[in-house]
Amino acid sequence: YYAPGVCSLSPHIVAREAGLPLTLVRVDNKNKKTESGEDYRAINPKGYVPLLELDNGVRLTEGPAIVQYLADQAPAAKLAPANGTLERYQLQEWLNFITSEVHKQFSPLFDPTMPTEAKEKFLTKLATRFDWVSEQLQGRDYLMGSFSVADAYLFAVLGWTKFTGPDLARWPVLQAYVARIAARPHVQEALKAEGLLK
């Protein structure tokens, strides 16, 4: 279950990178209905995407959990280090940072009732997070050295700067990072499937 261009883009990219088949079900985030008219809240009481429904009916929510599950279904794709390794905990560190320090800073920026002064505070916080991520990406193409589920998530979230700011031109390293990920064939496929790319 996804909505175009939101954080559900991350597991969508991961599934394609892993070569895993999935059936996309579009959700209208405003009216909480699926494309067939079902009440999405009856499917996910949290009311937001992503949600991964497995063939056995089990449902997983929360993007960082879903992307790790997907990566573990296709270990040969090397989208996540093996469970129990220090590298896996470093991946989880990145996913938690993206969730709490980047993703959540954007939420108020999409709220039309949020006062401009408050939005400026969130933009300032985002800028400090972008400064730090830029430092971590100096001399490397991806957060973990090679493309991982954390890159899919950060890519999805950085895409929101087009609608809310800040301008990524201030961070050439991040600008190049976004372009590099956007050029990946499976990322292109996901963007096209969601109607985000012609």
Of all residues in the chain, the percent with pLDDT exceeding 90 is 97
Q: What is the pTM of this model?
A: 0.96
User: Which amino acid is located at 116 in the chain?
Assistant: T
Q: What is the pLDDT, as a whole number, of residue 196? A: 94
Q: What is the pLDDT, as a whole number, of residue 31? A: 95
Return d(Cα 152, Cα 65) in angstroms, integer: 13
CA diameter of the chain: 48
pLDDT in tens, 126-175: 999 999 999 999 999 999 999 999 999 999 999 999 999 899 999 999 99
Q: What number is the average pLDDT over the span 84-105?
A: 97
Q: What is the pLDDT, as a whole number, of residue 198? A: 79
Q: How confident is the model at residue 19 (pLDDT cuts 50, 70, 90)?
A: very high
Of all residues in the chain, the percent with pLDDT exceeding 70 is 100
Q: What is the pLDDT, as a whole number, of residue 30? A: 92
Angle ∠(176,51,155) on CA atoms, nearest 5: 5
What are residue 53's DSSP bridge partners?
59
Reply yes or no on whether the pLDDT at 6 is more than 90: yes
The 8-class DSSP code of residue 77 comes to G
Q: How confident is the model at residue 49 (pLDDT cuts 50, 70, 90)?
A: very high
Q: How confident is the model at residue 197 (pLDDT cuts 50, 70, 90)?
A: confident
Tokens of 125: 């916080």
Write down the mean pLDDT value for the chain. Answer: 96
Q: What number is the average pLDDT over the span 41-61?
A: 97
The helix (run of H) or strand (run of E) holding residue 60 is: strand 59-61
Return d(Cα 148, Cα 144) in angstroms, integer: 7
Q: Where do the H-state alpha helices sit in the chain?
A: 9-18, 40-43, 63-73, 86-97, 104-106, 116-137, 149-158, 161-164, 172-182, 185-193
